[in-house]
Chain A
């Protein structure tokens, strides 16, 4: 079975600084997708960034980038120039080409951006 671990339940960062959220996963699959979702206080789940396992290049979306280490089964999220609106829960998620049970979420990291 696939598992996703986020070892940092809570983190904080000063506005305009950079923060990295950690995620590790366990799987025997070779082809899969990894995601970071953001959940602000509004409770809406918002996709931040996505990485295909077969791509060696790390995904980037504006101020958000990932460090994908396939051999180490690690998928960290870096947020640059942190903004107050980045305050949220962040969930790492894993998915294979099978549906349903194979979309697995980590327990989340609560990020607070401080003014």
Chain B
């Protein structure tokens, strides 16, 4: 299994509070992604990174920001959480060479915004 961890694994927070989710990889892969999973929508891309300090928006980026100061860490921040951001969040990574056309996923973080 690819070495990807997410923290926290579960979080309950209140509307209006800031929340940061962390993705950590030990594979030294260049590309990292944040998705959210909601019933009927599959996985939708929030933001992705193609290198340290290089990030770009995905399909559903409104209300989210990201940062990547080290190869191994990719942070997702909800500046002011809303109930519509209640979801399961997945981090994924992909590399170059043989594995570049496959994504490996972390275990997911279940976030509930009350």
Contacts and interface: CB of A to CB of B under 8 A. Distances in A.
Interface of A: 4, 9, 33, 35, 43-45, 47, 50, 52, 91, 95, 97, 99-101, 103, 105-108
Contacts of A106: 42
B102 A107 contact: no
Nearest to B105: A45
Contacts of B58: 100-101
B45 A101 contact: yes
Contacts of A101: 45, 48, 56, 58-59
A35 B99 CA distance: 13
Contacts of B92: 45
Interface string B43-68: 11100101000001011000000000
27 contacts: A9-B40, A33-B101, A43-B88, A44-B105, A44-B107, A45-B43, A45-B90, A45-B92, A47-B102, A52-B101, A91-B42, A99-B94, A100-B31, A100-B45, A100-B48, A100-B50, A100-B56, A100-B58, A101-B56, A101-B58, A101-B59, A103-B33, A103-B45, A105-B35, A105-B44, A107-B42, A108-B42
Interface residues of B, number: 24
A61 to B, nearest CB: 13
Nearest to B92: A45
Interface string B82-98: 00000010101010000
A91 B43 CA distance: 9
A78 B104 CA distance: 23
B13 to A, nearest CB: 20
